[in-house]
Amino acid sequence: MRYFLEVSYNGTAFHGSQIQGELSTVQLAINRAVSTILRQPIETFGASRTDEGVHALGNFYHFDTETALSENFVYRLNAILPFEIAVASCRVPRNHEEANARFDALSRHYNYKLYITKNPFLHHRAYFYPYKIDRELLHQTARLLLGRKDFTSFSKRNTQTKTFFCTVEEAYWTFSGDAFCFDVRANRFLRGMVRALVGTQLQVARGKMSLEEFAALFEQKDCRLADFSVPGHGLYLEDIRYPENYFL
């Protein structure tokens, strides 16, 4: 039987979500916790890979086992997982033999949080950015992201992907007092893509890159022209959408 775990985590405690040997990662912690409860080696597979420091409010991991899960399985998982990881639910997909947390996802939604005035309660929860920016330019750059486009310029090098085309369904900036954030939903994301989108749009908003230069990045397909420097701790994987009635 294949099961899906809905997981949230504080990324500052881990070297990313994907397993990297014995380094502390979200996937390694979940593998160990599920294996301990089921008393057998269990390997999980994540829906979306997040980098070091990046948080998640709703990532998914699937795993297989022939052992029947107890009613308090989620409770027991949360009892032994690190405090920085929480499991919200354990679900069974209708077509459990072929279901895949990564490949069956229709879209992913990321949010990048920033704040202007120094605030100790937002440290490592958002990006402190005390600079003057042109908000209207941010709205204009976000609109340029919509649709199916080649995002090669916004992808880190040495990534294992067959295509750099992504379809962005939503992209917008919102402002509230001293805080502002960027939301983007797409069918898929490339390595480092959201942080590059944020960093490069901020370059435009500060007058360091023109709107025309930003628009030209899609044709230039050169990641050296984008800004990947914004830190991971401002980024949140908000949710992942699956087809309607995907789960029992």
The full set of domains in the chain, from first to last, is 2-103 (3.30.70.580), 107-239 (3.30.70.660)
Residue 160 has pLDDT above 80, yes or no: no
What string of DSSP letters covers 95-110? Answer: TTTT--TTTT--EEEE
CA–CA gap between residue 87 and residue 7 (Å, rounded):
5
**Given pLDDT bands bounded at 50, 70 and 90, which one contains residue 73?**
very high
Q: Is 150 a catalytic residue?
A: no
DSSP code of 68? P
What DSSP string describes 146-185?
-EEEE-GGGS-SS---S--EEEEEEEEEEEETTEEEEEEE
Query: Looking at residue 144, what is its pLDDT?
Result: 98
Confidence (pTM): 0.95
For residue 174, give both structure tokens: 């919102």
Which residues are paired to 117 by β-bridges?
A: none
Residues pairing with 237 in the sheet? 56, 110
Predicted confidence band of residue 216 (pLDDT cuts 50, 70, 90):
very high
CA distance 138 to 125: 22
Torsion of CA 227, 228, 234, 238, to 10 degrees: 100
Q: What is the mean pLDDT of residues 155-173?
A: 91
Q: What band does 235 get if pLDDT is binned at 50, 70 and 90?
A: very high
Tell whether the torsion through CA atoms of 174, 175, 176 and 178 is positive or negative.
Answer: positive
The pLDDT, as a whole number, for residue 157 is 82
Listed in sequence order, the residues at least 6 apart from 239 whose beta carbon sits closer than 8 Å to its beta carbon are: 57, 58, 108, 109
Q: Quote the pLDDT of residue 217.
A: 98
Q: Of 183, 151, 191, 143, which is closest to residue 167 (Cα–Cα)? A: 151
Q: How buried is 93 (Cβ within 10 angstroms: 0-12 exposed, 13-18 middle, 19+ buried)? A: buried
* 11 exposure class (CB count in 10 Å sphere: 0-12, 13-18, 19+): buried
What's the CA gap between 124 and 99, in Å, rounded?
Answer: 35
* Residue of 51, 64, 104, 227 with catalytic role: 51
Residue 139 predicted with pLDDT over 90: yes
